[in-house]
Amino acid sequence: MARRHLIKVVFVALAVGLAGCATQPSNINDVCAVLEQQDGWISSWQRSAKKAERRHGIPMAILLATIRKESGFKSNARPPRTQLLGFIPWKRQSSAYGYAQALDGTWAQYKKERGGFSSSRDDFDDAVDFVGWYHGTTARTYGVAPNDAYSLYLAYYSGWSAFGKGTWRSNAGLQRTARETAEMAIRYERQLQSCR
């Protein structure tokens, strides 16, 4: 009897916990809709993004555009698996995970320097702070302007070492993706001005 009661308690706790999880926004090209879907305006996501903007000096629109490009605001996003023999699901292309698609090693560095032990890649508050930390470090280390979404995204996707070496110059696909992210940041910035 006690075991059955314990199972019920665990089930209810899980149901309540899952009900509180953020859902992936349906219209990721409208930043107002993205933010309003999370608890209404002013949302917890907006507060988290504003806090990261103040802490790291990177505009909120750039932080959100980076997350939009990386995961589409999906908390448990991962790269697709490769296939063994053309059809057997195999290893993933990288360890990228969560809203920010942070790699294991970079996430560990963030936790050590800034995030703390309990930070999680599938928690929006932690993920947007990670993006701010990464972009802020890029700006300080490489002299990139904090509002240069194009260069910040090049460094974010390439990694600091490759960005410093300029390997992105021979990658037309990455340059196109960085331009798209910069354009989305401009669009988000305009939209943020009109959000109620």
162 vs 92: which has the higher pLDDT? 162
Q: How many residues does the chain have?
A: 196
Q: Where are the domains of the chain?
A: 29-194
Lowest-confidence range among 41-55, 88-102, 126-140, 169-183? 88-102
Indicate if the pLDDT at residue 36 is higher than 70: yes
What letters, b where the CB count within 10 A reaches 16 and e where it falls short, cover 125-157?
bbbbbbbbbbbbbbbeeeebebebbbbbbbbbb
65 pLDDT tier (thresholds 50, 70, 90): very high
Predicted pLDDT of residue 110: 94
Q: How confident is the model at residue 126 (pLDDT cuts 50, 70, 90)?
A: very high
Q: Look-up: residue for tokens 């669009």? A: 187
Q: How far is CA 107 from CA 18, 91, 118, 133, in A?
A: 24, 20, 12, 11
29-194 has which fold? Lysozyme (1.10.530)
Integer Cα distance of 117 and 153 in angstroms:
26
Place 3 in a pLDDT band, splitting at 50, 70 and 90.
very low
Task: Work out the percent of the chain whose per-residue pLDDT is above 90.
Answer: 62
Residue 168 corresponds to which tokens in the numbers above?
């992105």
For residues 116-132, average pLDDT = 92
What is the reported pLDDT for 114? 83
> Which residue type does 62 have?
I
Q: What is the mean pLDDT of residues 170-178?
A: 97
